[in-house]
Chain A
Amino acid sequence: MSGFLALIGRDLRLARRQGADVAMTLAFFVVVVALFPLGLGPTPALLARIAPGVLWVTALLAAMLSFDRLFQQDADDGGLDLLALSGLPLAVVALAKAVAHWLTTGLPTVLLAPLLAVTLDLPAAAYPALMAGLLLGTPTVSLLGTVGAALVVGARRAGVLVALIVLPLTIPVLIFGVAAVEAGSAGLETRPHLLLLAALLAGAVPLAPLAAGAALRQAVE
């Protein structure tokens, strides 16, 4: 347990020292969301209609940008060997990495989303569902991304590849996340959607680190 927390602590400290990396991901999130009104016109009704999808899809794309470095940096500098020899099972290493990734990328995205939602004219009733959905959904995305990141260690064009293999797996998160916001906008019950997102997270927490751990073992060998 202490090793697990120490690894999260180390990654958080690294992210703080190299703050530009996190800032770039968030800047990407903001810029891409801003492109939609520019591309589709500023009609408030249209923007409010597409806001849930735009915010969720952009949050997914922003997350994809950060995955290729998740293990590759450690693999390049020899740190992955040290992690493999840390005595922590590699599945636990993967879980720690996913937690650190979510804290540095997922959580800031969740906090930024309502600000961007304002610019897209999202109805006020939809905000709780947007926030709750992102809070439940982005950890699942981080976990799936950790699997992808572990699989592409050492691959050519790892950045594109990780998006290509992870994005299809995130489709359920996208569907239920957007559905929750739309239900909120329409004043309907959002609980079923949020419960489904929670179920996905509950499934991903044990399974994704196992797959990522197996992939890391292959990358080390």
Chain B
Amino acid sequence: MHRFANPTRFLRLANALLPWLGVAAVGLLGYGLWLGLLNSPADYQQGETVRIMYVHVPAAWVALAGYSTLALASAAFLVWKHPLADLAARAASPVGAGFTAIALVTGALWGQPMWGTWWVWDARLTSVLVLFFLYLGHMALTNAFDDPERGGKAGAVLALVGVVNLPIIKFSVDWWNTLHQPASVLRMGGSTIDPAMLTPLFVMAGGYFAVFAVALLLRIRALYAERRLRQLRLSLPDA
């Protein structure tokens, strides 16, 4: 933790990693899309629509990973009070919200041909929607204060409250869904997934995580610059 807690050292590391992560992101996404869209079998039930899975499922994974990042950074900020952890938490929530939005939109696009409607109150979709709300609340709260430190701390507490609540919300939504939708809904993936589909899925997931890392580091760098600017302006003499 403390080895990277020095902002300059962190920035040097980030600057060194960013080009590699960028190349990995472009490469993996390109290869994954080629595999997923052109070089993998269509599903015997879902047909070509199954290819949406390759852009949808990794987005949902990253959406959850984003919230874990947010929660870990928040915990680190509250425990060690290090400003970099605050910046990481602030950076994680819009990026995570973006991937959550991608998961919701691609889910809707998949739902249209499969279920005949853009939106279904399916347990998974609903849970992801609530996750999106949690991200929105976190973003709104961190930016609602004139003093950025107060916003960061309040956001950190909220992120941890959200982590405790997420499994409860997930459980309640599943329960609600089984009450109201007893008919079995066709689920994506499942254990019987063909290995020919797994490869593109994992390649795409790698690409998504690389994009997440790039966006996170870029945002941390930008937020750090913004904070430095603020500090410099504050340290100007009164006159």
A contacting B, Cβ–Cβ less than 8 Å: yes
- The chain A residues found within 8 Å of chain B, CB to CB, are 147, 151-152, 154-158, 161, 164-165, 167-169, 171-172, 175-176, 179, 182, 196, 200, 203, 207, 211, 214-215, 218-219
Q: Contact check, B168 vs A172: say whether CB atoms are below 8 A apart.
A: yes
Q: Which residues of A contact B147 (CB under 8 A)?
A: 154
Q: Which residues of A contact B130 (CB under 8 A)?
A: 168, 171
Give A165 to B159 CA distance when docked, in angstroms: 10
* Highest count of chain A CB atoms <10 Å: which of B78, B134, B144, B153: B144
Q: Contact check, B168 vs A165: say whether CB atoms are below 8 A apart.
A: no
Q: Which residues of B contact A207 (CB under 8 A)?
A: 164
Q: Contact check, B161 vs A154: say whether CB atoms are below 8 A apart.
A: no
Q: Which residues of B contact A147 (CB under 8 A)?
A: 157, 161
B149 to chain A, nearest CB (A): 9
**Sample (9) of A-B pairs whose CB atoms are under 8 Å apart:** A147-B157, A151-B141, A172-B168, A172-B169, A175-B172, A179-B175, A211-B161, A214-B157, A218-B153
Nearest CB in chain B to that of A183: its residue: B179
Partner of B172, one of A154, A176, A211: A176
Partner of A165, one of B137, B171, B173: B137
Nearest CB in chain B to that of A158: its residue: B144
Partner of A154, one of B133, B150, B164: B150
B62 to chain A, nearest CB (A): 20
Q: Which residues of B contact A215 (CB under 8 A)?
A: 154, 157
Query: Main SS of the interface on chain B?
Result: helix
Q: Contact check, B150 vs A165: say whether CB atoms are below 8 A apart.
A: no
Q: Contact check, B160 vs A211: say whether CB atoms are below 8 A apart.
A: yes
Q: Which residues of A contact B154 (CB under 8 A)?
A: 151-152, 155, 215, 218
* Highest count of chain B CB atoms <10 Å: which of A147, A164, A200: A164
Q: Which residues of B contact A169 (CB under 8 A)?
A: 161-162, 165, 169
Q: Contact check, B140 vs A211: say whether CB atoms are below 8 A apart.
A: no
B58 to chain A, nearest CB (A): 24
Give A214 to B150 CA distance when docked, in angstroms: 12
Give A19 to B176 CA distance when docked, in angstroms: 38
Q: Contact check, B168 vs A200: say whether CB atoms are below 8 A apart.
A: yes
Partner of B144, one of A152, A200, A203, A214: A152
Give A207 to B160 CA distance when docked, in angstroms: 11
A218 and B157 in contact, given A152-B144, A168-B137 (Cβ under 8 angstroms): yes
Q: Contact check, A152 vs B141: say whether CB atoms are below 8 A apart.
A: yes
Q: Contact check, B158 vs A151: say whether CB atoms are below 8 A apart.
A: yes
| Interface presence of B145 (CB below 8 A) | yes
Q: Which residues of B contact A176 (CB under 8 A)?
A: 172, 175
Q: Contact check, B145 vs A154: say whether CB atoms are below 8 A apart.
A: yes
Q: Which residues of B contact A154 (CB under 8 A)?
A: 145, 147, 150
Give A219 to B145 CA distance when docked, in angstroms: 11
A204 to chain B, nearest CB (A): 10
Q: Which residues of B contact A165 (CB under 8 A)?
A: 137-138, 140-141, 158
Nearest CB in chain B to that of A151: its residue: B154
